[in-house]
Amino acid sequence: MFSFLGDFIRSAGQAVDVILLDEDGLDAPRRYRVRPGQVLGLTTGISLVVGLLLLLFVVATPVRGLFPGLATEEMKNEARLNSLRLSALEDSLSAQEAYLTHIRDLMMGRVEPGQDAPALDNPDTGGLVAAEGDPVSADWEDHQQPAIALGSLPIESGLVLPAAAGPQAALGAPRFPVLPPIEGLATRGFDPRIGHYALDIAANEGTVVRSISAGYVVMADWTHDGGYTIAVQHAGGYLSVYKHNERLLKRAGDRVASREPISMSGNTGEITTGPHLHFELWRDGLAQDPSAYLLTL
């Protein structure tokens, strides 16, 4: 076979006769005159066309993600988001495991007197431990706590803020501290250094989310990162934001009372580590640490 191909290639510049004979010799031989140069050129052309089609298929279809260096920007963003989700989930699980271990030791009598439970929240970050490797926010210092002077927040009577002038005055000023917007377990806290301006509260999907105070719904829509999101404007320059909801119960422009249901918690949006409520509290454009305004979780 190889000797035939060698002779065929060496005769590329002239015409040759190819005779086909049956193995048993019963049929008459068949003779074909061919030019090896043309056959080789045709074969090379077909190979190039097939190779080009395969290259276009790889570049223009999701198959490109299987090859290093050819992933689309969307795939790269998805990989980055998955990395953030994994880091946040590992952090949450680690904090909860330490807390549950302490509770187990407490029940078994293995806790030394005076030993405190491992705090879920990190006093240096104003909330739960943040995932390592998260990107640093460029303007995190603007939201260092307290972002405004809060003074003391006596739990017994609550802090009455000055009433706002204009239409919002009818709402009444929020009284802090308030009950959490949802019943659940805090899993990640406020950390402006990595752009996490919220308190994450783990809860089963479909759990009722309540407005922390009276106000007007200024936004109720789907967002790429936060899924179904609703925001309520309160008197005194306060804005509360609730993300990753399964369903919204209010529309923009609706007036809501304090503790009125506004949504059902879920796990929607691109940046989420499981069913939870991402709760933000802002005042006059500055993020506040929600845990400083809540009674308990």
Number of domains within the chain: 2
Position with higher pLDDT, 19 vs 148: 19
Residue with tokens 């119960």: 249
pLDDT(102) > 80: no
Residue 115 inside a domain? The answer is: no
Nearest partner of 215 among 249, 243, 239, judged by Cα: 239
Q: Quote the strand ranges of 104-174, DSSP E.
A: 121-122, 127-128, 159-160
Sign of CA dihedral 250, 215, 205, 93: positive
C-alpha distances (whole Å) from 41 to each of 16, 19, 110, 199 are 16, 21, 84, 69
Residue 30 pLDDT grade (very low, low, confident, very high; cuts 50, 70, 90): confident
pLDDT(151) > 70: no
Residue 89 · residue 273 · CB < 8 Å: yes
Residue 83 inside a domain? The answer is: no
pLDDT(41) > 50: yes
CA angle 281, 150, 278 (to 5 degrees): 15
Mean pLDDT along residues 41-59: 86
Residue 68 pLDDT grade (very low, low, confident, very high; cuts 50, 70, 90): low
> Are residues 181 and 284 located together in one domain of the fold?
yes
Residue 205 inside a domain? The answer is: yes
Q: Which domain-ending residue is among 47, 66, 85?
A: 66
Q: Which domain-ending residue is among 36, 66, 96?
A: 66
Pairing of strands 238-248, 261-265: antiparallel
Position with higher pLDDT, 8 vs 233: 233
pLDDT at 152: 39
pLDDT(230) > 80: yes
C-alpha distances (whole Å) from 6 to each of 11, 20, 112, 232 are 9, 18, 88, 82
Return the minimum-mean-pLDDT range out of 17-31, 144-158, 176-190, 273-287.
Answer: 144-158
Position with higher pLDDT, 41 vs 222: 222
Backbone torsions φ then ψ of 277, nearest 5 degrees: -105, 125
pLDDT(229) > 90: yes
pLDDT(281) > 80: yes
Mean pLDDT along residues 232-255: 95
pLDDT > 90: percent of the chain: 35
Mean pLDDT along residues 184-204: 91
Which range, 26-40, 104-118, 259-273, has the best average confidence (pLDDT)? 259-273
CB within 8 A of 48, min separation 6: which ones? none
pLDDT at 111: 59
Give the range of the structural domain holding residue 210, as residue numbers without chain letter. Answer: 132-292
Residue 62 inside a domain? The answer is: yes
> Are residues 141 and 62 located together in one domain of the fold?
no
Neighbours of 137 (CB within 10 A): 16
Neighbours of 130 (CB within 10 A): 20
Residue 37 · residue 13 · CB < 8 Å: yes
pLDDT(25) > 70: no
> Are residues 23 and 144 located together in one domain of the fold?
no
Residue 148 pLDDT grade (very low, low, confident, very high; cuts 50, 70, 90): low
- d(CA 22, CA 26) in angstroms, rounded, equals 7
CA angle 66, 70, 76 (to 5 degrees): 85
